[in-house]
Amino acid sequence: MSDQKIVKFSRRSALQAGLIMVTAGLTGHAAAQAKIAQNLVQYQDKPKGDAQCSKCLQFQAPDACKVVDGKISPNGWCAAFAPKS
């Protein structure tokens, strides 16, 4: 049996992540430098379907994100995922 934790995605958590991102964008450069904690955006080090960090606008190779704090796996995923066009 696996010790893997199952994370459920809710509309409330998506709205919270969006609100945090919008607030950071509206309050200027200093706030934009502050990053969101991984647990607040339900970060996981595995993709969610076809969505993964390396395919996100916010991803900064090799292991960072513009909006999420800490080391980020290119194969990870979070609620702040925004696909590249």
Is residue 31 very low, low, confident or very high in pLDDT (cuts 50, 70, 90)? Answer: very low
36 pLDDT exceeds 50? yes
Name the phi and psi angles at 25, rounded to 5.
-70, -35
How does pLDDT run across 49-84, given as a tens digit for each residue? 999 999 999 999 999 999 999 999 999 999 999 999
For residues 70 and 6, give the distance between their C-alpha atoms in angstroms, rounded to a whole number. Answer: 21
User: What is the pTM assigned to this prediction?
Assistant: 0.64
Domain limits of the chain? 11-65
pLDDT higher at 85 or 16 = 85
Torsion angle of the four alpha carbons 10, 8, 60, 54, in this order, in degrees rounded to the nearest 10: -110
